Chains A and B, each alone.
Chain A
Amino acid sequence: DSGVTQTPKHLITATGQRVTLRCSPRSGDLSVYWYQQSLDQGLQFLIQYYNGEERAKGNILERFSAQQFPDLHSELNLSSLELGDSALYFCASSPAAGGASYEQYFGPGTRLTVT
Chain B
Amino acid sequence: GESVGLHLPTLSVQEGDNSIINCAYSNSASDYFIWYKQESGKGPQFIIDIRSNMDKRQGQRVTVLLNKTVKHLSLQIAATQPGDSAVYFCAENSRFSGGYNKLIFGAGTRLAVHP
Contacts and interface: CB of A to CB of B under 8 A. Distances in A.
B partners with A: yes
B55 to A, nearest CB: 18
Contacts of B100: 48, 55-56, 97-98
Contact of A103 (B42, B49, B102, B107): B49
Please report whether the interface of chain A is mostly helix, strand, loop or mixed according to DSSP: loop
Contacts, number: 71
Contacts of A56: 96, 100, 102
Contacts of B89: 42-43
Given A40-B7, A43-B44, A56-B100, A88 B2 contact: yes
Nearest to A97: B100
B3 interface: yes
A110 B45 CA distance: 16
B34 A42 contact: no
A2 interface: yes
Contacts of B25: none
B102 A45 contact: yes
Classify chain A: how many residues form its interface, as a range: 20 to 34
Contacts of A99: 101
A98 to B, nearest CB: 3
Interface in B84-115: 89, 93, 96, 100-108
Interface in A96-115: 97-99, 102-109, 111
A61 interface: no
Contacts of B82: none
B36 to A, nearest CB: 8
B43 A42 contact: no
20 contacts: A2-B43, A2-B45, A39-B3, A39-B6, A40-B5, A40-B7, A42-B89, A42-B105, A43-B89, A43-B105, A45-B102, A56-B100, A56-B102, A90-B44, A98-B100, A99-B101, A102-B34, A103-B49, A105-B46, A108-B42
Interface of B: 2-7, 32, 34, 36, 41-46, 49, 89, 93, 96, 100-108
Interface of A: 2, 4, 33, 37, 39-43, 45, 48, 55-56, 58, 88, 90, 92, 97-99, 102-109, 111
